[in-house]
């Protein structure tokens, strides 16, 4: 679910039959709609908001995010194929239809994912969720649970948030020194102005680590069975994060022995310098071809 002109490496990866097969990615978001491009690969779903048992997405955000990462392009004849189109999906609904949620639900969902990490083979946690509340103890709790997931071996990929372009605008938990924080390098092409969160953090950590495309990304629509709308466009660092998560799934399919720290260093070494300020681009833009070769 990406624009080919933006991510040339994904097409090359597909030609090499690197599809993310066998790698499971957990998503904290607004849920997931069983879109035809995703069906058959949703290993688990849990609703921490309403307690419903069947997969659903009353916002559309979560389905769009998962499609960018894992969509197989079935309804588009392969035109809108995600980065890792055969990766397996674990969905935790922690946000409501307005994108709002509680830290308690996020923490609870992370513990659920860790409890089932081996059962479902989860290697990556994608967090297109960010908090802007200044309550220090709540923010610390959110960061701590993400770092717990990282210490348990998961590759934790977090959106930088859309509060930019001011300095120090990365949202929580993207400010964690351990996780991989993703910004959008094309945010200043957006009609309403630049939005991607910029570093540094309060602890003077350079953030984001890496950037990816995030503006006007076409991906799976949660309204398919409602009105026949197959795909829709959204923008934000929420869209950039699953590009990186999908690329990591491709890498793990090829080199399953890699640790999260080794993957983080590989991203650093393979990043493409966009000639932007470091607090905007971090190491640079993800280069999937370089990452896999």
How far apart are alpha carbons 256 and 22 in whole angstroms?
Answer: 10
**Bridge partners for 217 per DSSP:** 234
Task: Answer yes or no: are the C-beta atoms of 121 and 24 closer than 8 Å.
Answer: yes
How far apart are alpha carbons 42 and 34 in whole angstroms?
Answer: 8
DSSP class of 179: S
Set 35, 37, 58, 61: catalytic member: 61
The reply to whether 186 belongs to the active site is no
Backbone angles phi, psi at 234, to 5 degrees: -140, 160
Set 128, 219, 235, 238: catalytic member: 238
How far apart are alpha carbons 193 and 187 in whole angstroms?
Answer: 7
SS3 state of residue 107: helix
> Where do we find the tokens 């640079």?
284
The reply to whether 219 belongs to the active site is no
What DSSP element (H or E) covers 103? helix 103-115
The reply to whether 61 belongs to the active site is yes
Task: Answer yes or no: are the C-beta atoms of 1 and 81 closer than 8 Å.
Answer: yes
Set 29, 57, 58, 186: catalytic member: 29
Q: Residue 272 burial (CB < 10 Å; 0-12/13-18/19+)?
A: middle
Task: Answer yes or no: are the C-beta atoms of 45 and 88 closer than 8 Å.
Answer: no
**Bridge partners for 219 per DSSP:** 232
Give catalytic residue positions.
Answer: 29, 61, 238
């Amino acid at each position: 679910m990406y624009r080919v002109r933006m991510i040339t490496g994904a097409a090359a990866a597909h030609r090499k039959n690197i599809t993310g097969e066998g790698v499971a990615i957990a998503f904290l978001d607004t849920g997931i709609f069983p879109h035809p491009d995703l069906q058959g690969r949703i290993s688990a779903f849990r609703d921490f908001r309403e307690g419903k048992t069947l997969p659903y997405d009353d916002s559309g955000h979560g389905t769009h995010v998962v499609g960018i990462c894992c969509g197989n392009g079935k309804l588009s004849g392969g035109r809108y194929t995600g980065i890792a189109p055969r990766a397996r999906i674990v969905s935790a609904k922690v946000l409501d239809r307005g994108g709002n949620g509680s830290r308690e639900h996020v923490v609870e969902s992370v513990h659920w994912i860790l409890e089932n990490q081996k059962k479902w083979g989860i290697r990556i946690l994608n967090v297109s969720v960010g908090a802007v509340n200044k309550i220090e103890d709540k923010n610390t709790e959110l960061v701590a649970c993400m770092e717990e997931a990282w210490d348990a071996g998961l590759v934790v990929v977090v959106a930088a948030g859309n509060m930019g372009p001011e300095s120090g605008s990365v949202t929580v938990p993207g400010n964690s020194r351990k996780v991989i924080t993703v910004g959008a390098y094309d945010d200043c092409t957006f009609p309403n102005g630049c939005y991607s969160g910029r570093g540094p953090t309060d602890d003077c950590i350079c953030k984001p680590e890496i950037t990816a495309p995030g503006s006007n990304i076409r991906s799976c629509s949660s309204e398919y069975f409602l009105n026949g709308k197959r795909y829709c466009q959204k923008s934000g660092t929420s869209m950039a994060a699953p590009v990186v998560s999908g690329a990591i799934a491709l890498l793990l399919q090829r080199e399953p022995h890699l640790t999260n720290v080794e993957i983080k260093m590989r991203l650093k070494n393979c990043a493409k310098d966009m000639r932007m300020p470091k607090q905007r681009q971090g190491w640079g833009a993800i280069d999937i071809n370089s990452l896999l070769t």
